[in-house]
A and B are shown apart, each in its own frame.
Chain A
Amino acid sequence: MTAAGRPGAGWWWLILPAFLLLVVFYVAPILQVLAISVTEPEPGLGNYERLFTSGAVQRVIVTTLRICLITTVLALLLGYAIAYAITLASPRARGWWILAVLVPLWISVLVRAFAWVTLLRRQGLVNNTLMEAGIISEPLPLVWNEFGIVVGMVHYMVPFAVLPMLASMREIDPRLLAAARGLGGSRGQVFRRVFLPLSMPGVIAAAVLVFIFTLGFYITPAILGGGKTLMVAEWIGLQILDLIRWGLGTMMATMLVVAILVTLAVFSRIVDLRRIFGAGA
């Protein structure tokens, strides 16, 4: 804003260097890579045709979407419960709660994936405990399958679900809840008809954030999937580095970018996305 309070065109020159830097070193190379998807192996849309004709390509997409949706739903459910508890907690307890949510965020995703392997494998803590307690006689298949992947991914995504929902819940005026109770609503009614609707912007924001994050997951599925479940990111890596089918790999990368942009575009009409990503919060 200029001193007069109007946006001055001159100020845009100040961000020009940053803009150019981004275009030259970020946008241009990405476009160059994505362009390979229409030039290889021969010019045309042959790679995109595979979206409709290749069972393998479709399976990777369906698997990825399925795992991402399950992860998003579970992370939202768990995250909502946690965010709700934090909102209602005393200020002192709230500090500890938030710390407990944030600490896992600071631990490497690799370490966490391996920790889950240790817990869930055949001779892991969970199976050993259950077998010694006589509850099961054969180890349960808890890892090297989609179950293991979902466990690892939900664990990773819960903090990302909690934070936007917490921000939105804390903006709810507690006097509204008290008023609803005063007007004769039961606890359940107050939650369903007052708290839940008011917290929905946070839920949607968290859903968008978690879903977009999970689409690009690489390490967790690679480690916990036991090689049997392939998600989009690992599939792209395989095409580019090992099979040198760059056309196909970049086609999928383009689809990933498009999927993320479309998700953002759709939900930006519903919620204020700038708030999710921290601007002006």
Chain B
Amino acid sequence: MQSFQQDCVELAMCAYRRGQVSRRGLLAGLAALGALPMTGGDALAQAVRQIVMVNWGGIANQGFGRFYGEPFMAANPGWRVVQDSTGPSAGRIRSMVESGRVTWDICDSSATSSHLLGGLNLLTKIDYGVVNRENVIGPTFALDYGAAPYSFSNVLVYDSSKFPTAPTGWADFWDLQKFPGTRLLRRDAAGALDAAQMSLGKDLANLYPLDVRASLERVRQIRRNLVFWTSGSESEQFMRTGEAVMGQIWHTRAKVLEQETNGRLKFIWNQGILQPGIMVIPRGNPAGAMAQNFLASMLANPEQQVELLKFLGNGPTNPRAAALVPEEFKRFNPTEPANARVQVAQDGRWWGENYARVNADYIDMVTG
């Protein structure tokens, strides 16, 4: 299953090829990479210590290196941040920590994985003496076993040419009478069941714990009208080719569709499912406690987070960042106060505790 991070990378790569990401942006990224061997030259090799940041490949190397790595290196001489694009899935982190030869310091993971892996004692707890909780906009962005320097959202996207009135939330997603046509969901319980629960009319402030049985049943009701995506490009393709007329997809993909079709495909922030891009520290990481300082620096830098929003589409999580976002990017920023207000923050703790079981049931229902 493709994760959100992998998808950002792919999306940014496409954007760059189409010329939507500036050449300057890419060149600066390349320069950052090119500069690394110099600081790590023979004479300095002994003195320089490194932090290995693991991402999902492609242009995240540039994005994360430039907007997370460089500011930290500037502030901490003697340290350099290197990017590794292996793709730190929960399974890979587990096998690395259990083998006892950990080479990763900080991994682009998720709230769910941080709870799963943390529960298995495979991660280092975040030291909130070093990392400042005040630097994120909400409690779901600062967890026991991970903290989020960026955010993303699962939003409702629809084909406006197919419906006379616009859908306003997940209740409309389930209303096949009023909005006929095929629906699109991710083949992942997290996101789909949150939406199902919202469609049942539960008070948004007390959405969690989800009523798993009722939510699963709710998805089952429209199963015949559903198709499922597993990668971001696939989700985009389903909407673009008219396979589905309404779907739940990542906001970064929804943005592309809306801009590309001049607003024929639209997305709404209302009842979007806001999620943190959680970074985790594997237990026994080589750089030790310095990884905490690096994480603290990522959270504390609103300017760089806004640059990442422009570059990859990831929403900033620092409370001071929203004011720095240029007007034309506000519509697409999940943590813009006006957008964040109408969304629901996904409860990573509840999902972490229940994900394995609930997702197995969900996939069972989907494939049944």
Contact = CB atoms under 8 A, between A and B. Distances in A.
Interface stretch (A81-89, A167-175, A234-242, A264-272): A234-242
B262 interface: no
A243 interface: yes
Contacts of A245: 356
B230 interface: yes
A43 interface: no
Given A59-B368, A243-B360, A227 B187 contact: yes
A64 to B, nearest CB: 11
A243 B354 CA distance: 11
A122 B94 CA distance: 41
Interface string A29-63: 00000000000000000000000000110011001
B91 interface: yes
A32 to B, nearest CB: 11
A192 interface: no
Given A63-B367, A222-B230, A243 B241 contact: no
B241 A56 contact: no
B16 interface: no
11 contacts: A121-B243, A122-B241, A222-B230, A226-B227, A226-B228, A227-B229, A230-B367, A241-B89, A241-B92, A243-B356, A244-B94
B242 interface: yes
Interface in B337-368: 355-356, 359-360, 363-364, 366-368
A229 B241 contact: no
B199 to A, nearest CB: 20
Contact of A228 (B1, B120, B243, B367): B367
Interface residues of B, number: 27
Interface in B228-266: 228-230, 241-243
A238 B366 CA distance: 14
B90 interface: yes
Contacts of A122: 241-243
Nearest to B90: A244
Interface in A238-254: 238, 240-246
A222 B226 CA distance: 16
Contacts of A226: 227-228
Contact of A227 (B227, B242, B355, B356): B227
Nearest to A249: B91
Given A144-B243, A227-B227, A238 B1 contact: yes
A123 interface: yes
Contact of B360 (A56, A123, A240): A56
Nearest to A57: B364
A229 B89 CA distance: 23
Nearest to A240: B91
Contacts of B359: 242-243
B116 interface: yes
A55 B363 CA distance: 12
B90 to A, nearest CB: 5
A144 B229 CA distance: 10
Contacts of B120: 244
B366 A227 contact: yes
Contacts of A238: 1, 363
A240 B226 CA distance: 26
B364 A55 contact: yes
Would you list the 9 A-B pairs with minimal beta carbon distance, nearest first? A227-B228, A227-B187, A241-B91, A230-B367, A56-B364, A226-B227, A241-B89, A244-B90, A144-B227
Contact of A123 (B94, B242, B363, B368): B242
Given A222-B230, A227-B227, A123 B241 contact: yes
Contact of B116 (A60, A227, A240, A244): A244
B364 A244 contact: no
A241 B87 CA distance: 11
Contacts of A229: 367
A55 B364 CA distance: 9
Interface in B89-123: 89-92, 94, 116-117, 120
Nearest to B182: A122
A228 B223 CA distance: 9
A242 B90 contact: yes
Contacts of B363: 56, 230, 238
Contacts of A144: 227, 243
A123 B355 CA distance: 36
